[in-house]
Amino acid sequence: MTLVAPSPLSLNWLNLAQQAEARIRPYVPPTPLLKSSALSERFERDVFLKLESRNPTGAYKVRPAFNAILAQLDTARSRGVLTTSSGNFAQAVAYAAKKLGVRACIVMTSDTSPYKIERTRELGAEIVFCGPDFDSRFETVKRLERERGALVLHGFDSIETIAGDGTIALELLNQLDTTLPFSVIVPVSGGGMISGIAATLRQISTDHEVLGAQPSQGGSMAKSIHAGQRVHVGKIHTIADALVASTPGERTFEITRNWAPQVSLVSEKQIHEALLHCLETEKIWAEPGGAVSIAALLSESLPLSKNKPVVCIISGGNADPRILHEILGK
């Protein structure tokens, strides 16, 4: 994990995303973009859902995982890869590593749900547990990196992961079948996806707008942008258990505060309502973190430009069945 040099604002992200797309395409088909009749009617403009939930392993994280491993495939094959993740990146790295013949070791906190542990283990990765706080994950990764010499993959802040996320923007440009500008609402945790999409679209046209949505339980990116610097918000407790980065990345913070600074905070209740909207009206299965884009749209808390079509990114669909059982019980 290197520090920020050169500035992430000076890179050619469109080119990086196009390279990433060429690398990952054999393993990651484009995800569907569906028009939502109900949301289009309500908001009087075309509203689309980008179903990243339908990726292999059920979340967008296969994009950065494949891109990061493929960018250094020889090294990854000889040394293995190492990362830490609360769930979706773990499964994505395990899956990509298996497909590419690479050993994978994943550091997980001791309080990770058995559902996520099992899903990762099934994909053949080694799991090493660490203490329950977000920061102890990185310490354990550093220790294992020293001991084993494995290639460390950052879940959201490396050039390869951000560029991997940028492939979503390339698909949108292709699928929206329009040269007119559009708005994209992106679930935010560490900031990888919003950075990748904003940085890529910006090189096409600054008229496209990219906005973020983050649980108010946490909200590390929104609070960092407000503070003008990266802040740590401590251990996060939210139903959106994929969005628990306690601080943004260095690169992702720079990109997001410059190119996608509108990050809306949504309450747990709004996330519940968004999830029910997905299930009852859209007939799709989203994870709570994947539905925060819908939550932000429904809450009308985002300063969307008038009349632009809107895309809500549904970042994943790996809801723990027990959580959904609880929600449906209410």
- CA dist 144 and 139 (Å) reads 9
Q: What is the dihedral of CA 267, 277, 118, 236, to 10 degrees?
A: 0
Q: How far apart are CA 87 and CA 292, in angstroms?
A: 17
Which residue among 83, 84, 282, 297 contacts its own copies (CB under 8 A)? Answer: 282
What's the closest the beta carbon of residue 111 comes to its own copies, in angstroms?
22
Burial class (CB in 10 A: 0-12, 13-18, 19+), 46: middle
- Altogether, the residues listed in the chain come to a count of 330
Residue given tokens 């050993």 in the structure block: 103
Among residues 53, 85, 140, 167, the one that binds its own copies under rule CB under 8 A: 53
Is residue 35 part of the contact set for its own copies (CB under 8 A)? yes
Instruction: Output the CA–CA distances (angstroms, integers) from residue 47 to 9, 35, 43, 86, 251, in the order listed.
Output: 29, 6, 8, 30, 30
* Binding flag, residue 47, its own copies (CB under 8 A): no
Closest approach of Cβ 53 to its own copies, in Å?
4
Distance in angstroms (rounded) separating the CA atoms of residues 104 and 125: 5
Cβ neighbourhood burial of 128 (10 Å; 0-12, 13-18, 19+): middle
Decide: is 24 part of the binding site for its own copies (CB under 8 A).
Answer: no
Q: Is 307 left (phi over 0), alpha (psi -120 to 50) or beta?
A: left
**Which residue, 152, 67, 62, 60, is CA-closest to 104?**
152
Per CB under 8 A, does 241 bind its own copies?
no
Binder to its own copies among 29, 149, 234, 303 (CB under 8 A)?
29
CB of 95: closest distance to its own copies in angstroms?
Answer: 11
Residue 293 lies near its own copies (rule: CB under 8 A): no
Q: Tell the smallest beta-carbon distance from residue 33 to its own copies (Å).
A: 9
Nearer to its own copies, 127 or 324 (CB): 324
Extract the tokens encoding 131.
């203490």
Regarding 285 and contact with its own copies (CB under 8 A), the answer is: yes
Whole-angstrom Cα distance, residue 168 to residue 60? 9
Query: Of these, 108, 194, 286, 295, which contacts its own copies (CB under 8 A)?
Result: 286
| 240: nearest Cα among 309, 295, 172, 280 | 295
Q: Among 43, 100, 279, 305, which residue sits at the site for its own copies (rule: CB under 8 A)?
A: 279
Q: Does 329 bind its own copies (CB under 8 A)?
A: yes
Residue 226 makes contact with its own copies by CB under 8 A: no
Q: Examine residue 114 and tell whether it contacts its own copies (CB under 8 A).
A: no
Is 143 among the residues that bind its own copies (CB under 8 A)?
no
According to the binding rule CB under 8 A, does residue 288 interact with its own copies?
Answer: no
Task: Give the nearer residue to its own copies in terms of CB position, either 205 or 281.
Answer: 281
Residues that bind its own copies (CB under 8 A): 29, 32, 34-35, 37, 51, 53-54, 56, 58, 278-280, 282-286, 317, 321-322, 324-325, 328-329
